[in-house]
Structure 1
Amino acid sequence: MATLQTLINNIDYFYEITKIPMFILNKNKIIDHYPQFFFHLPKDCFKYLINSSMTRWGKVGILSSKSDITFFIIYEEYTICFGPMLCDSLHRYQSPKEIVFFNHLIKKPSINDILKKCISFDNQKFTYIQLIYQFLFNDYLSIEDMRCILHDNKKSEAEEEVKEIIITKRDYTNKIYTYLEERKFLKYIEEGESMSARSFGINFIHSESEALSHDQLQSMKYKVVATITLMTRQVISANVPLEDAYGTSDIYIRKVDSATSSQRLNEVFMHSIIDFCALVKKNKKANYPFWIRNCIEYINQNLHKNLSLLDISNELQMNPAYISNQFKKIVGISLRDYINKRKVEEAKFLIQCTNVSLLEISTTLSFADQSHFSKVFKKYTDISPNQYKNKLKK
């Protein structure tokens, strides 16, 4: 209960920092605690939604629609709700009726109030939920876990739409931008070949294909956002750090959103290609063997764990001594140094972008204790975590 009480005591602070409303429901699914600056929802407003619509996966549940998303963490006899958060950052909501969550309320707030008090869901917001989950269960909730939940939630409602799309695509067989051409474009991105990628990119967004919206500009925006998403994943596979890749993606998706003409959209798209290619060139490493790239990917996805050489050798199904010896020869630093450096980079990111305490960051990244965290952090930055945090405040 002490752990839950910590969340209760910080509900207002959590909303102030993250703009994610957090609600604590009792065993009867009635709201016990809520952020005072968010809407004062009916005490039983989640009860019906949870019973009728929530998809549950382990200790996590989700309510999602085309307009909004709410996460639930089941903790003992309590339910902790995060949301609603808006889903579609490209859509300009004009009425509360367009946002499914608020349709369940008898008294609906104005659209302006909703847009002021509700934030769009993205990877950063999911990071906050991951931290709360880690705090409650000392366990890790991955993005893949979230995708499993979303997939289960969307599967049934999407089946008819998929059938319709398949039928429609038959009429566009000769016009659709093919998978092989897409791979060629992404190969240019992975190699940092900006000029070739831009040449391909121009043909792509102006190629004839099925309309994604009745509005031509909106249809082009959807195609550009989809391509930015593909480029983001491609540069990550080329060893670009996650924060750089997703940060660039977020910047350009916002620019796409605000574009008011096809000419401006073309400019944004071309600049996104240039910047993604620049990231690849900046972070380009030697031609690492496939197993090294797998090793690095495994480390990056498991920074919350106390990673050991044995864990990695089991994952790669390779000899531990060989991994240790060859990793240092190829990458230039020892495996342990690489793991610690990545943990420190992640700690710096959390210090910069969240208000999570240094103790919680230390625990989340599986350091032995806060003293060990401070020692490792200082080894790679020359200052302590506390000094780094104070430096950012100036």
Structure 2
Amino acid sequence: MNKPLHPDKLEDVCAIMCSTYEIPVYYMDAARKVVFASLPPGESTAAAPERLSELTTDGSPASLPIIHTARTLENYIEVRLEDEGEYAGSLIAGPSIYSVIPEDTLDGIAKDWMVRDKEALRQRYGRFPVIPQKRLLQASALLYYLVYGRRIDIVDVLLANRSIETLFRMGENVDLEVSDRLNNSSLHHDWLYERQLMQLVKEGKPDQLAQEMTLGIKTEGMGTLSKRSHLRSLKNLSVAGISIATRAAMEGGLHPEIAYTMSDLYIQQIEELQDPDEVDKATKQALIEFAERVGKSSEEQVSSAVAECKRYIFNHLYGELSLETLAGLVHMNPSYLSRLFKKETGKPLTDYIQWKRVEEAKKLLTLTASSLSDIYSRLNFNDQSYFTKVFKKYAGVTPKQYRNGLRSEKDRADEHEAAGKPLS
């Protein structure tokens, strides 16, 4: 990770964020004391939330912004400052809320927290700036860039926050917990039209899909999924459509974890929208991206046996993996499976397993403060020396160097390609 700005410059960063997003921004030192704050007009330091210091109770550094959501629905961005591997303080921007708090939600909050003065509660939320989730993620990426001078993608921020939360809550595989499972849904409308769209998703044909949806997704015959709100009904239909597209994409070869994560992100985006036309656009965009992803994943065609092995490896990186186990899974002779796997992927099966575990270790080194011994033992490496040797073989640097921000040229190129940015 790059060295953060000098504390003297952090005050300017706070002022920039405050004026851009009309949100309070605080600089706290390593002792979790507020050093200074930039506040919107009308705010005062007395209005600073008492829970500011509680947001940083875990002093371990983080390589990406953290978004804290309080039980009372307000959000705070935290960018932790790390100097020579040590926690050096935090910049915290907040509070904000994703959307105007509905009346029934206010009733629930008042009841939960035994607040008698509901008008005071309404005024309290009225003072918070409304910053939808996507814009809050963009704000967190901007704050991080201003502090460290490194561009990051908002999807990485969202997934990292979800992964960090899961790791510290469950202590299990980040990617296996990356998305909440969606229940199967069905749409009450023209089945043939739905089938046509989903077939294009499954076949990975985004251009044809976009052409089919030029006149808008057909809504006649779909039924009403909310009698109280037309917008709510459209959102429900959109969620159902994305759920079906998720299944179609997986049938087309897209990895389930990628498909579920995309589904989750788009549904969260749609829940924030207040314009029916925007819901329609977001739904189209979701289906087209599913088709694009399927198309890209299908470029590397492998046999069903090799695909099944790759899925099993992905889901069992934290468990025992052996050639014999995989051969039994696909009912093949181990030697034949080994030759087939290398022929179709270019990597011997054992090398592929090591490579995938190194890729997983990279995520843990980047997104968590877990020790090297914890990481290599969880990923079934025998000892730290062997883990370091294997990691350097595939990453080009040692685990410690990788955690400190050193990347090989290939890793840097891959990161920039994933973020859609040229390598400078």
TM-score bin (small chain)? 0.5 to 0.7
* 1:131 and 2:173 aligned: no
* 1:366 and 2:374 aligned: no
Percent identity for Structure 1 against Structure 2: 26
Q: Distance in 1 between matches of 2:405 and 2:256?
A: 24
Shift of 1:359: 3.2
1:176 alignment partner in structure 2: 189
2:404 alignment partner in structure 1: 390
* 1:210 and 2:217 aligned: no
TM-score by length of 2: 0.54
* 1:262 and 2:276 aligned: yes
TM-score by length of 1: 0.57
Letter paired with 2:282: V
Q: Residues 143, 387 of structure 1: CA spacing in aligned structure 2 closer, same or farther, 3 A cutoff?
A: closer
Q: Distance in 2 between matches of 1:345 and 1:238?
A: 24
Q: Distance in 2 between matches of 1:239 and 1:372?
A: 34
CA contact (8 A) 2:302 2:344 kept: yes
Q: Residues 141, 248 of structure 1: CA spacing in aligned structure 2 closer, same or farther, 3 A cutoff?
A: closer
Larger RCO (alpha carbons 8 Å, 6+ apart): 2
Q: Residues 333, 15 of structure 1: CA spacing in aligned structure 2 closer, same or farther, 3 A cutoff?
A: closer
Shift of 1:231: 3.2
Shift of 1:300: 1.3
Q: Residues 239, 311 of structure 1: CA spacing in aligned structure 2 closer, same or farther, 3 A cutoff?
A: same
Q: Distance in 2 between matches of 1:240 and 1:248?
A: 11
SS at match of 2:366: helix
Q: Distance in 2 between matches of 1:246 and 1:331?
A: 25
User: Of residues 238, 246, 267 in structure 2, which corresponds to 1:224?
Assistant: 238
2:50 alignment partner in structure 1: none
Give the CA RMSD over aligned residues.
Answer: 4.8
CA contact (8 A) 2:61 2:369 kept: no
CA contact (8 A) 2:249 2:294 kept: yes
1:189 alignment partner in structure 2: 201
1:74 alignment partner in structure 2: none
1:316 alignment partner in structure 2: 330
The C-alpha deviation readout for 1:259-296, integer Å capped at 9, x for no partner, is 33233223322333333333233332443222222222
The C-alpha deviation readout for 1:300-333, integer Å capped at 9, x for no partner, is 1111113111221233333222211211112222
What are the ranges of 5 or more consecutive residues in structure 2 without an aligned counterpart?
1-54, 74-96, 134-157, 413-424
Q: Distance in 1 between matches of 2:173 and 2:288?
A: 39
Count of aligned positions: 295
CA contact (8 A) 2:235 2:271 kept: yes
Shift of 1:140: 11
Q: Residues 392, 236 of structure 1: CA spacing in aligned structure 2 closer, same or farther, 3 A cutoff?
A: farther
Report 1:278-317 matches (<5 A).
Answer: 278-317=292-331
Letter paired with 1:212: L
Shift of 1:206: 2.2
Q: Residues 276, 322 of structure 1: CA spacing in aligned structure 2 closer, same or farther, 3 A cutoff?
A: same
Q: Distance in 1 between matches of 2:334 and 2:245?
A: 34
CA contact (8 A) 2:202 2:250 kept: no
Structure with the higher fraction of residues in helix conformation: 1
What are the ranges of 5 or more consecutive residues in structure 1 without an aligned counterpart?
1-9, 22-37, 42-66, 68-88, 152-164
2:363 alignment partner in structure 1: 349
Q: Distance in 2 between matches of 1:90 and 1:374?
A: 43
